[in-house]
A and B are shown apart, each in its own frame.
Chain A
Amino acid sequence: MTSPLPLGGPAGERPLTVTELATLAKEVLESAVPPVWVVGEVSGFRKHANGHWFFTLKDAGAKLNCVMWRADAARASAPPQEGMQLFARGSLSLYPPWGETRFMVRDLLATMEGGLQAALLERARASLEKDGLFALERKRPLPPFPRVIGVVTSPSGAVWRDIVAVVGRRWPSVELVLIGAKVQGEDAPADLRRALALADRLETLDVLIVGRGGGSKEDLWAFNDEGVARAVAASRVPVISAVGHEGDVSLTDLVADARAATPSAAAEKAVPDRVELLHRLDVLRGSLASGATRRVALVGEQLRHAATRMARSCERITDRGTGRLRDARTRMGLAAERMVEARRAEVARLAGQLDALSPLRVLERGYAVARDADGRVLRRTADLPPGLGFRLRVVDGEVRARSEGTP
């Protein structure tokens, strides 16, 4: 070098110290290179006593010193082996005390395939997220009573069988449509996209289940395909994703309207339970009967009051008046009684229909219910003394009867 001494710093006033320059280099490196995935061959692995890992990644043209801090190393499945191809994700830095450029590793993937997939997955996830496809407000509610349920899965797998079994048990009044697709292997993503597009053409479809059974992480790869995820997000009907792994969430799971841990759980989400609904109908039946009975009792009460008042005013008149008025008084009283009676009979008739709806359908089996004039059920011989008139409710109506006492 021929330039005159001293050589200046950026401002030219004084030379930089080594530390200053190294620190500057560190800052430049860290800000210029974002976190990246690097692939290379492992050499010189050693584990420090404090738990940090040190190794070198190299290829034909270069080598890179790598450090993996203890916390990150603890998440790696196993220490890398000498000579193995490795994917490492991390960021570039410089360690001033040693004047050494280092790659600070956060994640390691031991297979070429796994590493590529992880890199692709990250890109796909970022792209889907950017388009808002994971947003909760995108998620559509599932139809409460679907009629046609599509299932995109392998025709030979257990998924279809499980879903048929669960739906058959809970809600057997639907059509289950199998839309067969390959769910693993290289051409699975394209085939899944085809199946999803086909499902979209079925106009009667109400809801769609997309799924496969358990498998290794690699087996689920097709459900991490960006195109498959976009096809799920674009589905005309709500989609339930059942990619079958607790804890392991696929991109398909993230874009679907609902997610289930297993195909059986997806089927349970897709249809209501018939037994639960029958119970709900029973509850409604009870409320209906008590509501109507109360209403009629109230009116009966009002009519009786009115009749009493009328009778009283009639009495006042007839005390002074004629037999005709007395007669009218009696007739009015009777008419009021008849009105209440007619209402009561109507409710009794309808309540009879409610009974006929009972799951037991006891009457249909040839049993009858005996009631007195007030509708009380007569259960024992003591309730039926000789000569007592009562009503007998049979399956299609009521008859009047009279007790002749015990045989």
Chain B
Amino acid sequence: MSAPSLQEDLARLDAIVRALEANDLDLDKALALFEEGVDRLRTARERLSVAELRLTQLREAADGSVRVDDLAG
């Protein structure tokens, strides 16, 4: 699953926007950051479009191990 990287994407995007707004980067760096930002935006949006709610049930099996079974939605 990709959720922690969404958190990273958002943090990175915030940092990129701040850097671009600071106006003290050289142009190549600024463009590279912009390109990375566009990329991060795309992946973040893709991650958000994944809609897969999974329902499971946790049980202790007869041998004492833990078991996760799928549940019908």
Mark each residue of chain A from 281 to 308: 1 if its CB lies under 8 Å from any CB of chain B, else 0: 1001101100110111011000000000
Q: A174 and B54: CB pair below 8 A?
A: yes
Report the separation of the CA atoms of residues A71 and B56 in the bound assembly, to the nearest whole angstrom. 52
Per the CB 8 Å criterion, the residue count for chain A at the interface is 45
Report the Cα distance A288→B20, complex, angstroms.
7
Query: Which A residues are CB-close (under 8 A) to B25?
Result: 295
In the complex, residue of chain A having the shortest beta-carbon distance to the beta carbon of B57: A178
Cβ contact of A357, chosen from B42, B57, B68, cutoff 8 A:
B42
Q: Report the minimum CB–CB distance from A112 to chain B (whole Å).
A: 36
Q: Chain A contacts of B23 at CB under 8 A?
A: 294-295, 298
| Interface bracket on B | 35 or more
- B12-38 vs A, Cβ < 8 Å mask (1 yes, 0 no): 011011001101010100110011011
Q: Are B41 and A173 in touch, CB under 8 angstroms?
A: no
Is A321 on the interface with B (CB-CB < 8 A)? no
Q: Of A13-21, A43-51, A194-202, A231-239, which stretch is located at the interface?
A: A194-202
**Which residues from chain A contact B62 at a C-beta distance below 8 Å?**
none
Assembled-state Cα–Cα distance A199/B68 (Å): 11
Residues of chain A within 8 A of B60, CB atoms compared: 198
CA separation between A114 and B17, bound complex, in Å?
A: 60
For B52, the closest partner residue in chain A by CB is A173
Interface pair B58/A178, CB less than 8 Å apart: yes
Shortest CB distance B73–A (Å): 7
> Could you say which residues of chain B place their CB within 8 Å of the CB of A144?
7
What's the least CB distance linking B19 to chain A, in Å?
8
Return chain A residues, CB-CB under 8 Å to B56.
Answer: 175-178
Closest-by-CB residue of B relative to A205 is B58
Report the minimal beta-carbon distance from B27 to chain A, rounded to whole angstroms: 5
Q: Report A-chain residues with C-beta under 8 Å of the C-beta of B71.
A: 178
Q: Check A146 for interface membership: any CB of B closer than 8 A.
A: yes
Could you list 20 examples of A-B contacts with CB < 8 Å?
A145-B4, A145-B6, A145-B7, A173-B48, A177-B58, A178-B56, A179-B57, A180-B57, A201-B66, A277-B48, A280-B10, A281-B13, A284-B17, A284-B41, A287-B20, A291-B20, A294-B23, A298-B23, A299-B27, A350-B34
The 7 residue pairs across chains A and B that have the minimum distance between CB atoms: A291-B20, A292-B34, A172-B51, A175-B54, A172-B53, A145-B3, A287-B17
